[in-house]
Chains A and B, each alone.
Chain A
Amino acid sequence: MLKVLVIDDSPFIFKAVKKALENSVFDVVDNAGNGKIGLEMYEKYAPDLITLDVTMPIMDGVETAKALVAKNPNVKIIMLSAMGDEALLSQAKEIGVSGFLRKPFKPEELLNKAKEILGV
């Protein structure tokens, strides 16, 4: 099973990611409510994939993505954001985020994106 960590301040998104990815090759292991906790959980679980929110308290998704890429340049991140402006999309690409979906996303959209990024 491929481990997925959800970094998002919303329990709804955690649930929606679980619904979308489980019953497949993925195991959604945990939910970090902000980027700071997310970095700790990244060390703990060594996930194959991270879904990363942008608007979060304490440490936002852009800062978190930079820190994750600094730790591991090959980290696989799908950014999930309610915002979808061009400035954010190109910033995410520049940092090295592997995929971007706007919220609300459809379950199959996330599943397909996750499979595509991990090549499964």
Chain B
Amino acid sequence: MQQEKFSELVMLTRKAFEEICMELVSCEFSPCERFILEYPYKTAVIIGMTGSVNGRIHLECDLETAAKIALTMNFGERFDNPNDVYAYMAEFANMIGGRATTYMSEKFLGGEIRLTPPAIFSGKSLGILTPNIPSQIVYYSGNLGRFFIDIGYK
């Protein structure tokens, strides 16, 4: 893929992330310096894109950030089922992916782009690698915590 188009796809994905954070949990996340998540428990969600754009968005944060995001999405109400935190993070990532595809199809004049249902991972010392796809990692920080997003398109 041309560098220019790759950069554009990354930019649209970042825009989608920033907007969804504002609209859904009223939190402004700003780009920040690279960091290492030092919390032991992490949550990662991967959303795939197929069609006229092929790629994936891998969103990762510590469990504390995930819990704060999910609680805010849940109108501040505690969860009956603690696993709902993961399901809520999955939908959070799905909305980011969906917004990104909308922008991409507007920008590149149509072509159908569809999302795969989110894959959710959680655990200690989690490390996810997706070889064979050019990707860029971006870092964000806001009142509700920190995220890193590994954005890959081919």
Contact = CB atoms under 8 A, between A and B. Distances in A.
Interface of A: 9-13, 15, 19, 55-57, 81-88, 102-104
Nearest to B95: A82
A34 B105 CA distance: 26
A84 B114 CA distance: 10
B102 A19 contact: no
A12 B97 contact: no
Interface stretch (B33-41, B84-92, B127-135, B140-148): B84-92
A101 to B, nearest CB: 12
Contacts, number: 70
Contacts of B95: 82, 103-104
Nearest to B77: A15
A113 B105 CA distance: 25
B94 interface: yes
Task: Report the interface size class on chain B.
Answer: 20 to 34
Chain B contact residues: helix, strand, loop or mixed: helix
Contacts of B113: 83, 85
Contacts of A102: 98-99, 102
Contacts of A86: 105-106, 110
Given A55-B116, A85-B113, A86-B105, A11 B88 contact: yes
A103 B115 CA distance: 14
**Nearest 3 A-B pairs (CB), nearest first?**
A82-B98, A85-B105, A10-B91
B126 interface: no
